């Protein structure tokens, strides 16, 4: 029955009748949807786009109460708070999220990026990158993001190189990491190293295209 309300509400959204969609979400919640994680998350997405902040926040709270181990909900809530310049609220979401799901690299990265670029607290960001890469050592994008932070706001090119190097050994290779590393070397006049990385990058891309197409 809850699914019927959800389907009807989404149909009303497609038709642009948002008040009716909201009425259906509310009715469905009263008939059991309030305890259904999928239902509440769909309602959150609706209110994020069409509702007010207070209602959206209430639904995010309900959603994490239903699914505290789901990192996607913590991440979405934190990113939404960040988009409204609510740094403390976003920080609280990411902090609570990693306590429940410490092995999720997206949460560590989002929190570290918040500290580095929004809160302008590089030391806090660095501590989070250290913790994140310990919890998720095989996540190349996390190593890359740390390297980019050190390159632009932290300890500079040499530290960034070390972090790019660390991430470059992870399989499968992360194409953006090699590209960012090559551009770092190029910007510092290390053209031979940049060319070597570009060559590796081309080989990785060719290999990945072959795997995607199913060629030997």
With a CB cutoff of 8 Å and minimum separation 6, the contacts of 29 are 39, 40, 43
Angle between helices 71-83 and 53-66 (to 10 degrees): 160
pLDDT (average), residues 71-96 = 97
C-alpha distances out from residue 93 to 53, 74, 106, 181, 212, Å: 16, 6, 13, 31, 36
143-169 confidence digits (pLDDT tens): 999 999 999 998 899 999 999 999 999
Closest listed residue to residue 116, CA positions, set 79, 142, 85, 154: 154
Q: What is the pLDDT of residue 29?
A: 95
Q: Which residue has the tokens 């932290």?
A: 154
How far apart, in whole angstroms, are the C-alpha atoms of residue 178 and residue 212?
A: 19
In angstroms, rounded to a whole number, what is the distance separating the alpha carbons of residues 37 and 209? 38
Q: What is the pLDDT of residues 35-55, one digit of tens each?
A: 999 999 999 999 999 988 999
The pLDDT value recorded for residue 214 is 57
Own/partner long-range contacts of 203-210 (Cβ < 8 Å, ≥24 apart): 204/173, 204/175, 204/178, 205/175, 208/172, 208/175
pLDDT average, residue stretch 22-34: 94
Cβ neighbourhood burial of 76 (10 Å; 0-12, 13-18, 19+): buried
Share of the chain above pLDDT 70, in %: 97
Q: CA–CA distance from 143 to each of 4, 115, 207 (Å)?
A: 44, 16, 22
Q: What is the predicted pLDDT for the residue at 52?
A: 87
């Amino acid at each position: 029955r809850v699914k019927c309300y959800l389907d009807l509400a989404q149909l009303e959204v497609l038709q642009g009748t948002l008040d009716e969609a909201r009425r259906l979400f509310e009715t469905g919640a009263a008939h059991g949807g309030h305890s259904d994680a999928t239902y509440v998350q769909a309602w959150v997405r609706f209110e994020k786009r069409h509702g007010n902040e207070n209602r959206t926040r209430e639904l995010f709270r309900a959603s994490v109460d239903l699914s505290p181990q789901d990192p996607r909900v913590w991440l979405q809530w934190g990113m939404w708070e960040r988009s409204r310049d609510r740094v403390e609220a976003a920080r609280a979401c990411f902090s609570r999220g990693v306590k429940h799901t410490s092995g999720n690299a997206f949460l560590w990265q989002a929190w570290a990026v918040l500290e580095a670029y929004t809160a302008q607290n590089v030391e806090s960001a660095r501590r989070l990158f250290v913790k994140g890469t310990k919890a998720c050592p095989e996540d190349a994008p996390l190593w890359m993001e740390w390297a980019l932070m050190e390159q632009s706001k932290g300890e500079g090119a040499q530290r960034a190189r070390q972090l790019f190097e660390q991430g470059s050994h992870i399989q499968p290779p992360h194409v953006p990491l090699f590209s960012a590393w090559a551009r770092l070397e190029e910007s510092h006049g290390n053209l031979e190293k940049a060319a070597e990385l570009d060559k590796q990058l081309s080989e990785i891309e060719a290999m990945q295209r072959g795997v995607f197409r199913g060629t030997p």
